[in-house]
Amino acid sequence: MLKDAGQYNAKSLEENIHKFWDEIDAYSRVREQRIDGQKFFFVDGPPYTTGRIHLGTAWNKIIKDSILRYKSMKGFHVLDRAGWDMHGLPIEVKVEAVLGFKSKKDIEKYGVGNFVAKCKEFALSHRDEMTLQFQNLGVWLNWKDPYMTLRDEYIEAAWWTLKKAHEKNLLEKGRRVVNWCPRCETAIADSEVEYADVSDPSVYIKFPVTGEENTFIVIWTTTPWTIPANIAVAVHPSFEYVRVRVSKNDKEEILIMAKELLKNVLKQGRYKKSEVLETILGEELKIEYNAPLGHKVPRQNTFSHTVYLADFVTAENTGCVHIAPGHGIDDFELGMKHKLPIFCPVGPDGKYTEEAGDYKGMHVREANKVVLDDLSEKDLLLSSGTISHRYGHCWRCKTPIIYLATEQWFLRITDLKEKMLDEIKKVKWYPDWAGSARFADWVKGSRDWCISRQRYWGIPIPVWICDFCGEVEVMGTMEELKNRSAVKNLTDLHRPYVDNIHIKCRKCEKRMSRVPDVFDVWFDSAVASWATLNFPRDDKTYKEWWPADFITEGHDQTRGWFYSQMGASMVSFGKAPYKSVLMHGFTLDTEGKKMSKSLGNVVSPDDVINKYGAESLRLYVLSQNAPWDDLKFVWEEVGTINRMLNILWNVYRFPLPYMILDNFNPVDTRERLATLSLRIEDKWILSKVQSLIKKVETAMSEYNLHKATRPISEFILEDLSRWYIQLIRPRTWREANDPDKLAAYYTLYEVLVTLTKVLAPFAPHISEEMYGNLVRNIHPDAPESVHMCNWQAPDEKFIDIELEKKMDIIREIVEASSNARQKLKRKLRWPVKRIVVVPKNEIVNEAVLCLEKVLKEQTNAKNIILIKHGETWDELGVEVLPNHAALGPAFKKDAGKVIAQLKTVSGRAIKKSILETGSFELEAGVINADMVTFKDLIPPAIAAAGFSAGDVYVDTELTREIESEGYAREVIRRIQDMRKELDLAVEEEIRASVEIKDERVAILVLELKDFIAGEVRARTLTIGPEVEVEGELVKDWDVEDVRMRMGIRL
RNA sequence: GGGCCCGUAGCUUAGCCAGGUGGAGCGCUCGGCUGAUAACCGAGAGGUCUUGCGUUCAAAUCGCAACGGGCCCA
């Protein structure tokens, strides 16, 4: 049996549904149920296990959940292990903060094993916390068996991939300049560098040119601490450079710089006089110079310092660029090209090494000032100021990064670039430009991938090197390592457990040791698509499922996970690891600014759930805008969605009391619908709901979640609540087994049940609740959950597009008539004599004929008069407006007479004649079409309003019958109001008395006494001018200026 | 500085790909309804479609540039 429903309470409803899902193990059973379906392999982009989820993460998972629920209902066998990214520097930094550590030395002292254990504990506890948060959103993924990057089988997937890289000669150890965090003492990836505005030195330095007295080449830098490592100066080959004689304080010297920047340099150096001695192209500039800090850094005197040409030089500052190949990427590349020494006198802790001579032991951050002082002492400092610019910082500990030339391991992704670009084209991107423009551009500009980190909590790099001959061997699996090393009981592949495992060199039979590095954490998630299938341990599953059918992440992942996966997959398998990608946007605040803790504009998903429930949040993020656009979070809009859900709930619960009262038992709904005689509005809503399914399907085929969810909301508000429910209301109040009522019941039932299924992927809670009552309480053998149901295919036999169009017209006419009524202040409760529809096209005609009853009811009109298309309503008066400009010249002095006569003749007669014959004969002369214009004259009791395809006239003239009904309805409304006040049950009977002093009105109302009594369920009803009013509740009313006194008693 | 995306009523947006009188919702004002009722419905006001230039008979729509926002990079 159906059960009644209370008010919509999102929180308790969602809690109950979550409990229900747990009880019946809904998720697992839904997936099992589809085990024979077509495979749909989804890979969850693993969130990083620190802290709580934010709005963007919530949006991400809601998108995934809705799409997967939809796919599952469509019959796909979905594979969707949730994923967790659990290694890496971010967690190390958090744990270091908890333990109060300041550097790697603290970790070493604490013990790597202890530290790693803490990191693991941290990651696991956050995973649990975040899982709960995702589940509160109603997100279904495989939470019981997620893939976790810290698992041994996962680590093996990474190892296997690196071995592949080695076999394909794509793994390389090399010296490169990398982003280096001097606090974390590790290389960090480009993607781990966060840019922020900082104030740095902005200094102009003179390098003394060899063999030319008092001549200097001028460079500019923001990092004076790199001057001790200077090796060269770069100039642009096609810029013009000048030698300038300048003077200041009676001292003369010659400076070299770009011609274009002469003014700037003179200003910086506050030179009073200047004289250009020579202008030459950069490519002709052949000079050597002396190390500016040779006296402090003895090694510098062993290098030769020369000017080189480089395209990356820009016309800024001096046009001459200081080159330290050990401390800059461009610098390094230029150095490699010209075989310059890669001089890097800075250690991993950011302090100068022995090679830096006098600076040894000094931290580079303290060195800036000292270096400037030393240069100043030598009179090599041209000017010194500060500049505010964007500079890179370690994204976790916020320390400014430095560039260091270090030994690192690289994947030679650049070798695979062309093939990767081909693969990108084979992937289906939503939207298209995410792949063709954004991702392709990123890949084109990508560099080799530095995968090594000098840290602890990560996947150990499985490379062993011979201590003697340098032979390199890569371990692909745990098994391989065991076999090669004679270590039998290896239970954890993390550091420090793998650190002391040695193997015997195949070449020289000496000892091999593991390189101490761990992987860049991006490499972890890069192998997710096969690691989640437990490859390489399980080859069979891989063959059945790989590559992924679908992934979806935010646009920040273009350079992140989209890329890292593509790179790793090209290395491993030579093809893309995914077939389709939906790129979604970012959540921003109301102003369109990004949410950040420092701005204090962060909205957490929990806040939204607490206020409106998960369902509102879900539908909000899904429908607010296109998935790929950024989402501006606006609280009011969530409120609007919540209101829509509330209306849905009211629509759902409105018929329940009647259905229950009538013992309505909807079995074989489709068959009953075929045999019952349905009203046209029933057919209409059935058509509408089928059309809705089609719309949702079309939108979902392109992952247009906004275009799928918006029509659902529109259907609920416009078609169901505002229209169909209003139309069938009177039918639900009928007593007994009226077939017309049953037709409405069955129709509404069918529509609501269909709606639960359409809604299920997007609003899984409310649809489950409705389904539970509407379906499960009636059919015990139906699927237990709406999510176990098949997606309902649109049924063409219900669809009648013409009818849908006609109803649209009728709704427009009703709106127009309501508009017209308002002009004459005639309430809808009062019937009107007639409504005249003047159509502008044939469809309006058909619509009115076809839906006359609906139109009549909804406009509360006694009659509908339909004027034929092309004709005018003949009761409209016609005002003839003389056209003086035409009448004057035609009739000259008689014009006045003609105009006067025009007013005495029937306007309609003139219009008719002019329309038919083109002229009209007045006593004073014949007028033609040019001389007059016509205007409709609307009679006083008539109100007019237009709609898109015609006009509507409402005749509000009162008749005795109308007044009688109008007053009667006023009385009914007020007694109903009083019933409500007494909180009476719908079926409870009353005794009522109404005193109306105005005798005329009293008589009018009395005429409909029986009607009134029936409507308000009154056993007895007395009405009259002298009635004694009494009862539990007595009230005085003012009805359209008529005083009434009413009382009701039980 | 570069790549991609976004910029339409007070707010959130549709329309843009395939050029031809800019549609909604929220909010506001006024009104209605009262057997969904701490609900619901209707009407009205409100737009230099960020700006400028160009293509065209015609530009929110196509092109170029600028400005503002986002992501990514330097």
> pLDDT tens, A54-63?
888 999 999 9
ipTM at complex level: 0.87
Q: Please, what is the Cα angle at A467 between A463 and A471, to 5 degrees?
A: 55
By C1' distance from the Cα of A639, the closest nucleotide is B26
Which one of the listed residues A21, A561, A628, A830 is annotated catalytic? A561
Confidence of residue A394 (pLDDT cuts 50, 70, 90): confident
CA-to-C1' span, A710 to B27 (A) = 20
By C1' distance from the Cα of A329, the closest nucleotide is B74
- The DSSP line for A103-127 is SHHHHHHH-HHHHHHHHHHHHHHHH
- Distance between CA atoms of residues A23 and A140, nearest Å: 15
- Distance between CA atoms of residues A916 and A805, nearest Å: 34
Which one of the listed residues A46, A182, A228, A536 is annotated catalytic? A46
Note the pLDDT tens digit of each residue in A742-756: 899 999 999 999 999
The bases of strand B with some atom under 7 A from any protein CB are 3-6, 11-14, 25-27, 31-37, 39-44, 69-74
Confidence (pLDDT) at A578: 95
A498, β-bridge pairs: none
* SS3 state of residue A808: helix
CA-to-C1' span, A708 to B65 (A) = 37
Note the pLDDT tens digit of each residue in A688-727: 999 999 999 989 998 999 989 989 988 998 888 888 988 8
Mean pLDDT to the nearest integer, A383-412: 83
Q: What is the CATH number of domain A960-1049?
A: 3.30.2320
CA-to-C1' span, A847 to B48 (A) = 41
Asked if residues A582 and A63 have their Cβ atoms less than 8 Å apart, the reply is: yes
CA-to-C1' span, A696 to B61 (A) = 26
The yes-or-no answer on residue A286 being catalytic is: no
- The DSSP line for A985-1042 is -TT--EEEEEEE-SHHHHHHHHTTHHHHHHHHTEEEEEEETTPPP-SSEEEEEEETTE
Q: Counting Cβ atoms within 10 Å, is residue A471 exposed (0-12), middle (13-18) or buried (19+)?
A: middle
Which one of the listed residues A251, A286, A339, A597 is annotated catalytic? A597
Q: Does domain A877-937 bear CATH number 3.40.190.10? A: no
Mean pLDDT to the nearest integer, A836-849: 87
Which one of the listed residues A300, A454, A557, A858 is annotated catalytic? A557
Mean pLDDT to the nearest integer, A516-535: 94
Confidence (pLDDT) at A814: 85
Mean pLDDT to the nearest integer, A109-129: 95
By C1' distance from the Cα of A658, the closest nucleotide is B35
Confidence of residue A496 (pLDDT cuts 50, 70, 90): very high
Which one of the listed residues A44, A65, A85, A955 is annotated catalytic? A85
The yes-or-no answer on residue A597 being catalytic is: yes
Confidence (pLDDT) at A546: 92
Which one of the listed residues A259, A594, A862, A1009 is annotated catalytic? A594
CA-to-C1' span, A747 to B37 (A) = 25
CA-to-C1' span, A468 to B53 (A) = 71
The yes-or-no answer on residue A85 being catalytic is: yes
CA-to-C1' span, A974 to B34 (A) = 9
Cβ within 8 Å of residue A337, ≥6 positions away: none
Q: Report the protein residue whose CA lies nearest the C1' of nucleotide B72.
A: A556
- Distance between CA atoms of residues A321 and A334, nearest Å: 12
By C1' distance from the Cα of A441, the closest nucleotide is B3
Mean pLDDT to the nearest integer, A195-205: 82
Q: Report the protein residue whose CA lies nearest the C1' of nucleotide B30.
A: A822
Confidence (pLDDT) at A345: 92
The yes-or-no answer on residue A135 being catalytic is: no
Q: Report the protein residue whose CA lies nearest the C1' of nucleotide B40.
A: A722
CA-to-C1' span, A262 to B52 (A) = 34
Tokens of A440: 């392709």
Percent of chain A with pLDDT over 70: 99
Which one of the listed residues A522, A723, A830, A1037 is annotated catalytic? A522
CA-to-C1' span, A143 to B3 (A) = 38
CA-to-C1' span, A438 to B53 (A) = 28
Confidence (pLDDT) at A648: 92
CATH of A195-402, one of 3.40.1360.10, 3.90.740.10, 3.40.50.1240, 3.40.1010.20: 3.90.740.10
* CA distances in angstroms from A498 to A155, A467, A1035, listed in the order given: 12, 17, 88
The 3-state secondary structure of A365-401 reads: HHHHHHHHHHHHHCCCEEEEEEEEEEEEEECCCCCEC
Q: Counting Cβ atoms within 10 Å, is residue A851 exposed (0-12), middle (13-18) or buried (19+)?
A: buried
CA-to-C1' span, A948 to B61 (A) = 24
Q: Report the protein residue whose CA lies nearest the C1' of nucleotide B41.
A: A722
CA-to-C1' span, A150 to B74 (A) = 34
Mean pLDDT to the nearest integer, A581-606: 78
Q: Report the protein residue whose CA lies nearest the C1' of nucleotide B25.
A: A640
Note the pLDDT tens digit of each residue in A331-370: 888 888 888 898 999 998 899 999 999 999 999 888 989 9
The yes-or-no answer on residue A11 being catalytic is: no
By C1' distance from the Cα of A585, the closest nucleotide is B71
* SS3 state of residue A955: strand
Whether residue A936 is predicted with pLDDT greater than 80 in this model: the reply is: no
Q: Report the protein residue whose CA lies nearest the C1' of nucleotide B32.
A: A827
Which fold would CATH assign to domain A621-798? Isoleucyl-tRNA Synthetase; Domain 1 (1.10.730)
**Average per-residue pLDDT in chain A?**
88
Confidence (pLDDT) at A1044: 86
**Which one, of A460, A477, A459, lies nearest residue A536 by Cα?**
A477
Q: Report the protein residue whose CA lies nearest the C1' of nucleotide B43.
A: A819
CA-to-C1' span, A76 to B71 (A) = 33
| DSSP H or E run through A1046 | strand A1042-1049
Confidence of residue A671 (pLDDT cuts 50, 70, 90): confident
